Amino acid sequence: TSHFVALQIGVLLKGTCYLAEEIFHLQSRHHGSFWRALSACFPLHWYGPMLLICGSAYVALLNGDGQPLDLHLGLASLFQLFTLALGLH
């Protein structure tokens, strides 16, 4: 479950980076529509349910090791950023 959550965080971070780049091309590529740019960076038709399922499973299966949930998610986010920065995906 942790692996799937980390993968979803990676997709979210990658989409955020793409969106930051697409903001500069709203007029030329997306005809001024922020929602078109958003849907181009995040495939919302499948990403929303997948994020909800993985997040729910992660919270439900958290093993109670005494660490807060935000620490786990923060470490998973840092790992995914490191993986993206090194091009290991």
Q: What's the pLDDT at 20?
A: 92
pLDDT at position 46, please? 66
List, in sequence order, the alpha helices (H) in the chain: 2-22, 26-30, 34-41, 44-60, 69-86
Angle at 60 between CA 16 and CA 2, to 5 degrees: 50
Confidence of residue 2 (pLDDT cuts 50, 70, 90): low
**pTM (2 decimals)?**
0.60
pLDDT at 87 over 80: no
Q: Which is more confidently placed, 84 or 38?
A: 38
Question: Does the pLDDT of residue 63 top 70, yes or no?
Answer: no
Per-domain residue ranges for the chain?
1-86
* Length of the chain (residues): 89
Do residues 50 and 8 touch, judged by C-beta distance below 8 A?
yes
